[in-house]
Amino acid sequence: MTENKEESSCDGQCSSCPSAANCNDPQKAASGIQSKVQMNVKNVILVLSGKGGVGKSTVATNLAMALSNKGYNTGLADLDIHGPNIPKMLGIEDQKLGSYDGKTIEPVKVSGKLGVVSMAFLLPDTSSPVVWRGAMKNTAIKQFLEDVNWGELDYLVVDLPPGTGDEALSVAQLAPNIAGAVIVTTPQDVAILDSSKSVKFIEKLGLKVLGIIENMSGLVCPHCGDVIDLFGRGGGEKAAKELNVPYLGSIPIDPDMRIAGDEGKPFILKRDGSEQNKVTWQHVDEVMENILKQIDN
C-alpha cells in the first residue's frame, strides 16, 4: 500500500476529485466513488454552457433531432433538473415516463430513433419546482442513465444546466464512452468569460472539448437586410482560438428558431420559409456536421 502511495500523485480526496471515475488508484475503492454505469451507448455528447440564456437546450434538441434523422439511434437526457425545457421544445411536455416491467424506465419516444428522459415528465405540472439538494439530483442522474431502457444507442446527447456544478460532475463521473463536450456561448464578453470556465472544467476532467458554438451571432433586419450585432460578433471564435479548442461555427438570431422552440418543433426540421430562415438553417446544419467531424477525429 505504501508503494502505491509513492507512485500516485493522488492526495486521497477521492470524493472531491473530478477524475475519480477514471482513476485506478487502489485507495479509490474505499472512497465511495461510484463506477461508470452500465449503458449500451457508443458516444455520449455533453452540451453545456457557462451561463444561462445562451441557447444550450436549443442546441441539444436540434443536435439530437439531427442525429436521429440521419438514422442513428439517439437518446436525449435532459439533466437540467431545476429547469427542464427539452420536453417543451419537442412538443411532448404532456407525456409521462412509464415502465413495462416495474424495474426499468421507458423513455418518451419522439420517433423510432429518438427517446427522451426529463425531470419534467415526473412533475405534476409545468410550474412545479424541484427543491432538491445535490445528493437527490445525483441519484436522479444515475437513474436516468442506468435505469432507463435506452436500448442500443449510437449517441446520447446530454443537456446540462449552466455552470460547472453537481450535475455536470456527476455525468462526467458516471456516463461511459463520453465523446466530448460542446460548449455553447453568445458573443458578448460576459458569456465568453463563463464559457472559458466550462472549457477548462471539461479539460480538468480529462474529457475532450468538441468545440465552441457561438449562438445568437447577429440578427438580419427583416426590413433592410442589414446585420445587427445585438450581442457583438466573433467572441466565440476568438475564445476558441485562445483556448486552443475547435470552433464549431455560429448560429444567427432568427425569430423562427424561437418560435420553433415554443411550438415544440425543432428548427432543424424546417428548411423552407424566408431567405433568413434558409441561411439560419445552413448555419445550424454546418454546426451539427462539425460536431460529428470532431467526434470522428
Residues annotated within the binding site for ATP are 50-57
- CA–CA distance, 260 with 54 (Å, rounded to integer): 16
Name the nearest CA neighbour of 84 among 191, 161, 18.
Answer: 161
DSSP string, 63-111: HHHHHHHTT--EEEEE--SSS--HHHHHT-TT---B-SSSSSBBPEEEE
Cell of 242: 485562445
Name the nearest CA neighbour of 43 among 178, 182, 207.
Answer: 178
Residue set of the binding site: 50-57
Burial class (CB in 10 A: 0-12, 13-18, 19+), 200: middle
- CA–CA distance, 291 with 145 (Å, rounded to integer): 22
Name the nearest CA neighbour of 157 among 94, 110, 105.
Answer: 110
